[in-house]
């Protein structure tokens, strides 16, 4: 009899806990669904899904699909970048162990504060660069330099050259080739000095046939 009484006492001690565990197990639900956009029903990948009351979280996959174990009456929060947060409460009246839904996410406009990026970290460095920075040549100065180079080349062609001048002419050709590397070199027909020399020779009669 003492052993029977002890057994009854142990059963009475653990029966409420077992009954509560069974009740809690019946609250478990396999919660599945999709997260899609509200306007075009396109999947919203990697949506963050949170159960704040129990500090549990998961996320949807690339196709917006999610599946996890939840409980009845759990409040679910859906959040994704560029969308407003969605809220859903699992009904406590469902009779099955599975529950599915489609969560529509509403597009949200995010306004970012203005950010100004400067190339110099301090005002002193900006002042130093502003004062001492060399301003590149404009198009007119570059054109004048190119014309002066062509003029000197035309003058050199009309003068007899010795070995030193031939060497300089060869080096100038190499320099010009590297200078115009990757771009179209100037054409002599567009040289204004060559046209001036042509008209001058034509007026002087240099192109007339000589008997």
**What confidence score (pLDDT) does residue 7 get?**
46
Both structure tokens of 211? 């008997």
Q: How far is CA 30 from CA 19, 68, 71, 72, 78, in A?
A: 22, 6, 8, 10, 17
Distance CA 157, CA 147 (A): 15
**What confidence score (pLDDT) does residue 14 get?**
47
pLDDT tens digit sequence for 24-58: 567 899 999 999 998 888 999 999 999 998 889 99
**What confidence score (pLDDT) does residue 167 get?**
77
Examine the domain organization and report whether 14 and 74 are in the same domain: yes
Mean pLDDT of 118-141: 79
Examine the domain organization and report whether 70 and 156 are in the same domain: no
Task: Please report whether residue 122 resides in a domain.
Answer: no
**Residue 85: which residues within 8 A CB-CB, separation 6 or more?**
77, 78, 79
10's torsion region: left (phi>0), alpha (psi -120 to 50) or beta?
alpha
User: What DSSP element (H or E) covers 110?
Assistant: none
β pairing state of 98-105 and 86-89: unpaired
- Count of other CB atoms within 10 angstroms of residue 137: 11
Both structure tokens of 107? 């597009």
Task: Please report whether residue 147 resides in a domain.
Answer: yes
Examine the domain organization and report whether 146 and 95 are in the same domain: no
Mean pLDDT of 70-76: 93
Examine the domain organization and report whether 63 and 9 are in the same domain: yes
Whether the Cβ atoms of residue 78 and residue 48 lie closer than 8 Å to each other: yes
Is it the case that residue 2 has pLDDT exceeding 70?
no
- DSSP letters for 127-168: HHHHHHPPPPP-HHHHHHHHHHHHHHHHHHHHS---HHHHHH
**What confidence score (pLDDT) does residue 22 get?**
47
Strand, coil or helix: what is 190? helix
**What confidence score (pLDDT) does residue 154 get?**
72
Nearest to 67 by CA among 92, 40, 42, 99: 99
Task: Please report whether residue 197 resides in a domain.
Answer: yes
pLDDT tens digit sequence for 133-192: 776 777 777 777 777 777 777 766 666 666 677 777 778 777 877 777 777 666 666 666
Distance CA 32, CA 70 (A): 10
Q: How many domains, in total, are found in the chain? A: 2
Question: What is the residue range of 176's domain?
Answer: 139-203
- At residue 206, φ and ψ (nearest 5 deg) are -65, -20
Confidence bin at 60 (pLDDT 50/70/90):
very high
Q: Residue 135 half-sphere exposure, CB side, CA atoms within 13 Å?
A: 6
Distance CA 51, CA 73 (A): 11
**What confidence score (pLDDT) does residue 90 get?**
93
Task: Please report whether residue 114 resides in a domain.
Answer: no
Is it the case that residue 132 has pLDDT exceeding 90?
no
Task: Please report whether residue 121 resides in a domain.
Answer: no
Examine the domain organization and report whether 17 and 89 are in the same domain: yes
Examine the domain organization and report whether 88 and 144 are in the same domain: no
Examine the domain organization and report whether 66 and 6 are in the same domain: yes
Tell me the pLDDT of the chain averaged across its residues: 78
Examine the domain organization and report whether 16 and 79 are in the same domain: yes
CATH number, residue 27: 2.60.40.1120
């Amino acid at each position: 009899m003492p052993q029977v009484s002890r057994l009854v006492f142990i059963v009475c001690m653990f029966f409420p806990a077992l009954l509560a565990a069974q009740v809690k197990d019946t609250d478990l639900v396999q919660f599945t669904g999709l997260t899609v956009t509200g306007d075009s029903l396109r999947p919203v990948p990697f949506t963050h899904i949170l159960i704040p009351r129990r500090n549990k979280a998961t996320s949807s996959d690339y196709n917006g699909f999610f599946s996890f174990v939840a409980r009845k009456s759990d409040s679910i929060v859906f959040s994704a970048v560029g969308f407003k947060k969605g809220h859903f409460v699992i009904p406590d009246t469902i009779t099955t162990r599975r529950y599915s839904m489609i969560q529509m996410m509403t597009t949200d406009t995010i306004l970012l504060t203005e950010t100004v990026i400067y190339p110099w970290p301090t005002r002193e460095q900006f002042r130093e660069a502003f004062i001492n920075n060399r301003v590149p040549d404009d198009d007119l100065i570059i054109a004048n330099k190119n014309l002066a180079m062509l003029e000197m080349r035309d003058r050199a062609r009309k003068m007899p050259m010795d070995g030193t001048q031939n060497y300089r002419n060869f080096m100038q050709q190499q320099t010009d080739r590297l200078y115009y590397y990757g771009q179209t070199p100037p054409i002599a027909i567009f040289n204004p000095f060559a046209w001036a020399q042509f008209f001058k020779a034509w007026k002087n009669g240099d192109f007339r046939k000589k008997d």
